[in-house]
A and B are shown apart, each in its own frame.
Chain A
Amino acid sequence: MSDITSSAFIREDLVAERPAPVKTTGFIGLVRTRLFNSPTNILLTIAGALLLWFTIVPSVKFLVVDAVWSGNDRTSCLAETAGFAVGACWPYIQAKLPQLIYGFYPEAERWRVNLTLVLAVVLLLPLLIPRLPAKGFNAGLFFFAFPMVAFFLLHGGGLGGFGLSWTAGLLQLFDDSIIGAGQAVLSLSKSSSIGPLLWVVGNLILLVGTAIYWLIYPLTWLRDQLQGTGQSVWTDFAITAVVVTLIAFFLGGGVRAGWRALASSIAAFVAVAIIIKLMGLDHGGLPIVQTNLWGGLLVTLVVSVTGIVTSLPIGIVLALGRRSTIPLIRIFSIAFIEFWRGVPLITVLFFATYMLPLFLPGNFTVDGLVRALIGISLFTGAYQAENVRGGLAAIPRGQGEAAAALGLSWWKMTSLIVLPQALRHVIPNLVNSFISLFKDTSLVSIVALFDLLGSLRASFSDPKWSTPSTAFTGFAFAGIIYFIFCFGMSRYSLFVEHRLNAHRRN
């Protein structure tokens, strides 16, 4: 009993607030608690300070303090004229800036590049800001309308036909190569020991080729008729629009549910028609600028944006294919991924540039830039496939089962439940690949495409600007440009990650 009474306690005086004996807030607090609070930390602080001293100070000295800011040629950047050891030679960058941005793109046409860049920014920025509305429409413009407009802006040229002519052309090309193969086998049969067999095979191939020729004859005939008329583009366009819209209507569910598909198809074709009309594609379009004249930042951006935008879908398809239960699809995906991951990008670029033309049918040429683009997209796509696969593996089986139990088809389950979760898991990896792709675009300079780095190196040989610091200045400038883009992507991805993973915070 007495124990209990002795442990009872009632406070009589309240304890007043008083400051901490050791300062834990403010600058002094920071220094004391974070920088000099233990022997190891003291060492690390000193080492860090030294590191900053030895990197930041010389950089600032080179880029700002010792830099030359104005001048007309190399003389202003020489130590003799400046009177001190010259750092960065900025007038050189200023003089070469057009070349670094546009390459050899004709001066009179450079407004087209500027317009494309402005369009890209105007369409991309609202897409990146989550608060703005109409994301679907905006994405449609950026991913479908913009590439088309950008192509005809940057490259120029017009349309000779539309869907019908293209289909006819492709089919004809296909048929021509079959007939070509048949004739090749036939000519072999004359000299070979298994001649009769080859003769039979060759004639069979020729027979198939001829059959296809007659099968597609209505199409090619119609195209030739169209080419004869003055209005070939618009007639062809109308035919394509009607056919595609009808297909969309019936695939979309016909009279019962196809009206949405019908409306979006019509809207898409109206948009295309407006673009054709506005850009005058039906009568020649803008003057053509061959891609071998493109250069500088323009090429870097074209290559990296195309690579980024196409590699993710490729990666997703391959990753899904790799998990498919259908053996053929799975084996193809695995082989594809392992092949592209197994060869260095340089090899891919060389192959695409110098060897691919040897494999393509004779009269079929692909532009050099496009070849590099395809190579880079497939290469990065293979890497993205492995990133996406990591995300897919992290999704519990129950998610798919729950979706299936609700009656969702495989496509809907994948696109609404599995992929959104899988991609969120791997945003850092995906962006990592994007950043490395952005920097890897500099490799295209080895296949005679002058990207930012390539144009820069080309400009070094100009005797007008050859000074001891020219190369350093140029590389510093290129480094800053690359850093701005990569750092921007990195920061934006952190933002997206934070936002999309709201559900994982409590």
Chain B
Amino acid sequence: MSNSPIVKISGLNKWYGEFHVLRDIDLSVEKGERIVICGPSGSGKSTLIRCINALEEFQEGEIVVDGIELGPNLKHVDAVRREVGMVFQSFNLFPHLTVLENCTLAPIWVRNIPKKDAEINAMKFLERVKIPHQANKFPGQMSGGQQQRVAIARALTMNPKVMLFDEPTSALDPEMVKEVLDTMVDLAREGMTMLVVTHEMGFAREVANRVVFMDAGQIIEANTPNEFFANPQHARSKLFLSQILR
């Protein structure tokens, strides 16, 4: 942890028209750190992590990812996106491509890796998420949990330095949540830097170094999971936890 943070967000402000979604966000993430972001619906969690890989633009502030600077004019977008992997709530696999093609597309077209090598590499990641035998299926032929694991593998094939997860288990049936969370726990154990938006408090307790609680576009409280769950400081955090941990 001696060197500089891998993600550093400072003074980030964003508006949708007149609506001030993100307000004075400051957050820095060390290499290998796992951060869980939680908060009520509409508090700006998705918007925040989508700013990190420039899927959303912002009006004020600065985001530095692995030394690459992303200002309001969104220079260096491509360089940042190459370092940051993202997993979406609705999987967003490419339905017209097989699982293997989903996982080789970006390495081949963005990193210019030969197809053969890309396939070998992709199979390695599919094995890691435990679906190598489905490599030639189309996404539409798989369960939600399997699709989400493919989505994780797809992001990993680009060897990202940071992984962003936006409610990766919210669209899944309860019995599939566990298989996806297990995959994410494995990933955390291997030392991946992760920013996870989730309401899975069990996951937060198990792997997070820090829980960041957001409300109304601002960071209300950030603490270790033990501290945060045991004695939340802010009134809003208390209210939120009392509702979610009923």
Contact = CB atoms under 8 A, between A and B. Distances in A.
A466 interface: no
A401 B92 contact: yes
Interface stretch (A131-139, A146-154, A498-506): A498-506
Nearest to A506: B141
Contacts of A506: 140-141
Nearest to B53: A405
A503 B110 contact: no
A399 B93 CA distance: 7
Nearest to B157: A406
A406 B105 contact: yes
A409 interface: yes
A497 to B, nearest CB: 13
A398 B55 contact: no
B78 A406 contact: no
Given A401-B88, A402-B88, A424-B96, A416 B55 contact: no
B95 A404 contact: no
A408 B55 CA distance: 12
B81 interface: yes
A420 B97 CA distance: 10
Contact of B55 (A405, A412, A417, A504): A405
Interface in A202-255: none
Interface in B49-105: 53, 55, 78, 81-82, 84-86, 88, 90, 92-97, 105
Contact of A502 (B88, B106, B138): B138
A503 B53 contact: no
Interface residues of B, number: 29
B155 interface: yes
B100 to A, nearest CB: 13
B135 to A, nearest CB: 14
A401 B155 CA distance: 13
A404 to B, nearest CB: 6
Interface in A384-412: 396, 398-399, 401-409, 412
B158 interface: yes
B112 interface: yes
Contact of B78 (A396, A409, A417): A409
A257 interface: yes
B109 interface: yes
A442 interface: no
B106 A420 contact: no
Nearest to B94: A417
Contact of B81 (A398, A406, A424): A406
Interface string A353-378: 00000000000000000000000000
A172 interface: no
Interface residues on A, range: 20 to 34
Given A407-B82, A503-B140, A421 B88 contact: no
Contacts of A257: 112
A344 B94 CA distance: 40
Given A257-B112, A401-B92, A402-B94, A408 B140 contact: no
A399 B88 CA distance: 11
Contacts of B141: 503, 506
A184 B94 CA distance: 58
Contacts of B14: none
B99 to A, nearest CB: 11
B34 interface: no
A506 to B, nearest CB: 6
B109 A504 contact: no
Contacts of A500: 96
A500 B106 CA distance: 22
Interface string B106-125: 10011010000000000000
Interface in A455-506: 500, 502-504, 506
Contacts of A406: 81, 85, 105-106, 110, 154-155, 158
A403 B94 CA distance: 9
B125 to A, nearest CB: 13
Contacts of A409: 78
Contact of B86 (A405, A412, A421): A405
B109 A412 contact: yes
B155 A398 contact: no
A421 B110 CA distance: 20
Contacts of B97: 503
Contacts of B94: 399, 402-403, 417, 421
Contacts of B139: 503
Interface of A: 257, 396, 398-399, 401-409, 412, 416-417, 420-421, 424, 500, 502-504, 506
26 contacts: A396-B90, A398-B92, A401-B88, A401-B92, A402-B86, A402-B151, A405-B53, A405-B84, A405-B86, A406-B81, A406-B110, A407-B81, A407-B82, A407-B110, A408-B105, A420-B96, A421-B94, A421-B96, A502-B138, A503-B96, A503-B97, A503-B140, A503-B141, A504-B95, A504-B140, A506-B140
Given A401-B88, A503-B95, A503-B141, 14 more contacts: A398-B92, A402-B86, A402-B93, A405-B81, A406-B154, A407-B110, A408-B106, A408-B110, A412-B109, A412-B110, A500-B96, A503-B139, A503-B140, A504-B140
Interface of B: 53, 55, 78, 81-82, 84-86, 88, 90, 92-97, 105-106, 109-110, 112, 138-141, 151, 154-155, 158
